[in-house]
Amino acid sequence: MMALLQILFGLGILAVAYHGYRAGEIPAGAGYRPTRDENPAGFHCFLTLYLCSGIALLVWGVFALVGLAEPMPLS
């Protein structure tokens, strides 16, 4: 069950990254939204952060689903 939740969260984060890439503006905190034109370094930094974390959650969830990794502990 927890593995499916990890997969869904990973897909959600990747969807936010894709939408931000297409729009040229990515959410990066409380009211801060770097754009590709005004702040390209911040935009690409947060885009990379979203992509890496989404892929990591997705891969960890798939590995936990097939039994190759421990699922995320709930505490």
The pLDDT profile of the chain, 75 residues, written as one tens digit per residue, is 889 999 999 999 999 999 999 999 999 989 899 999 999 999 999 999 999 999 999 999 999 999 998 877 777
Q: What is the pLDDT of residue 11?
A: 97
* Phi, psi at 35, each rounded to 5°: -110, 160
- String of DSSP letters for 6-73: HHHHHHHHHHHHHHHHHHTB---SSS---BTTT-HHHHHHHHHHHHHHHHHHHHHHHHHHHTSSPPPP
DSSP lists the bridge partners of residue 21 as none
Q: Which residues contact 56 (CB under 8 A, 6 or more apart)?
A: 10
